Amino acid sequence: MKEPIYEYDPAELLTDAESIAIFMADAFESGDASFIAQALSVVARAKGMTAIAKEAGVTRAHLYQLKNGNPTLKTMIGVMRAVGLDMTAKQHSEAAHG
């Protein structure tokens, strides 16, 4: 008997500010720009694409392009703020540099 395959949408689990912040922090830890943009796209879907697009000053179509992984910095900052997050910088630890 085959095991059933269940659909999984991480956006369904992003129900509060803390889960969204942790999700995006994990994405930023990857250091992969495409992965970060895709994660931000998931967060935007969780919060509602229309509302986030309006607050970020971009079109819904533009938001859907986030998952392609190459948004402008202006778009990233706008969407991050619209979902209730800020982008900050921190110094790398020595362990991270090998």
What per-residue confidence (pLDDT) applies to 11?
94
Average of per-residue pLDDT across 10-26 = 95
pLDDT recorded at residue 71:
86
Q: Tens of pLDDT along 45-97?
A: 999 999 999 999 999 888 888 888 788 888 899 999 999 999 888 887 776 55
Looking at residue 29, what is its pLDDT? 92
Q: How far apart are CA 12 and CA 51, in angstroms?
A: 17
**Every domain of the chain and the residues it spans:** 10-85
Name the residue with higher pLDDT: 47 or 6.
47
Give residue 96's pLDDT.
56
User: How far apart are alpha carbons 2 and 91 in whole angstroms?
Assistant: 49
Q: Tell me the whole-structure pTM to 2 decimals.
A: 0.83
Nearest to 45 by CA among 26, 23, 25: 23
Alpha carbon of residue 95 to chain centroid: 26
Distance from C-alpha of 24 to C-alpha of 36, rounded to nearest angstrom:
7
Q: What is the pLDDT of residue 89?
A: 84
Q: State the CATH class of domain 10-85.
A: mainly alpha
